[in-house]
Amino acid sequence: MKSEANQVDQTSREKLMKSAEHLFAERGYDGVSVRDIANDAGVNSALVGYYFGGKEGLLAEVYTQRCGLLRDERAQLLAEYSAGGKTPSLEEVLEAFITPSLESARNGEGRRSLPHIRSILAAENSSLLEKLVAENFDESSKIFVKALGKCLPHLTHEDVLWRFHFLLGTIYYTATGPHRIKALSRGRCDPSDPAATKEELIPFLVAGFTAPSAAKGNKRRGRGRGNGTVKS
């Protein structure tokens, strides 16, 4: 009897998460109520509070689950490129980071929902988004920043962080705004094709990451300014 009750609990929990993910991606966080989610899942609305502590807790659980899959896939690819004590190349580090993101934009409703939920939260509740991103990605991001730094000894740590920031913006927009380039190219450029996107994106990112240090350029430009002082 106890195992049957546990199975029912797990099924209700999974139904709530599936409905929440679908509705949040479709209507946004603010546009969905606890009752909407429970009705879609076919369970009692009180279970949202029981399992997740409320709507925000439910969103956090959905987001964390999807982020965990993304982190695991990135870590697995990086481990494959690092097998046998090998130091992965810049191209390999970038490929390990971006491939799961590009695949998530195409494969499966659940995987596609993550960038949409993130985009909606950026507009509706940026403080909640920042909290969720920090909780789910700060540690894994540090691993990739370190790996990128090993490939780019000519750059300062701040240079690498800036370029990693631009990398995040690039893959985020590629996942959430593919319609723009499809419209401009009349369908010839299609970000929903991960292989074709990587062929274009990785050389672009390599060129950006391997560019000369901006800090050195700022110092040179600073000598021509009025007070002649430069802070590094």
Domain containing residue 88:
62-212
Q: How many domains does the chain have?
A: 1
% of the chain surpassing 90 pLDDT: 59
User: Is 4 part of a structural domain of the chain?
Assistant: no
pLDDT at 40: 97
Residue type, 158: E
Decide: 144 and 138 in contact? Cβ < 8 Å: no
CA distances from 115 to 34, 80, 106, 158 (A): 22, 26, 11, 27
Which range has the worst mean pLDDT, 125-129, 172-176, 216-220?
216-220
pLDDT at 217: 57
User: Is 190 part of a structural domain of the chain?
Assistant: yes
User: Is 41 part of a structural domain of the chain?
Assistant: no
Residue 122 CB coordination number (10 Å): 14
User: Is 3 part of a structural domain of the chain?
Assistant: no
Decide: 168 and 115 in contact? Cβ < 8 Å: no
User: Is 88 part of a structural domain of the chain?
Assistant: yes
pLDDT at 210: 97
pLDDT in tens, 1-59: 445 445 556 799 999 999 999 999 888 899 999 999 999 999 999 999 999 999 999 99
Q: Which two tokens stand for residue 168?
A: 């995040």
> Which of 105, 72, 76 has its CA nearest to residue 182?
105
User: Is 22 part of a structural domain of the chain?
Assistant: no
Instruction: Give this prediction's pTM.
Output: 0.80
User: Is 222 part of a structural domain of the chain?
Assistant: no
Decide: 158 and 217 in contact? Cβ < 8 Å: no
Which range has the worst mean pLDDT, 2-6, 71-75, 130-134, 185-189?
2-6
User: Is 30 part of a structural domain of the chain?
Assistant: no
Check which CATH number belongs to the domain holding 133 and give it: 1.10.357.10
pLDDT in tens, 58-82: 999 999 998 999 999 999 999 999 9
Q: Which two tokens stand for residue 182?
A: 């499809």
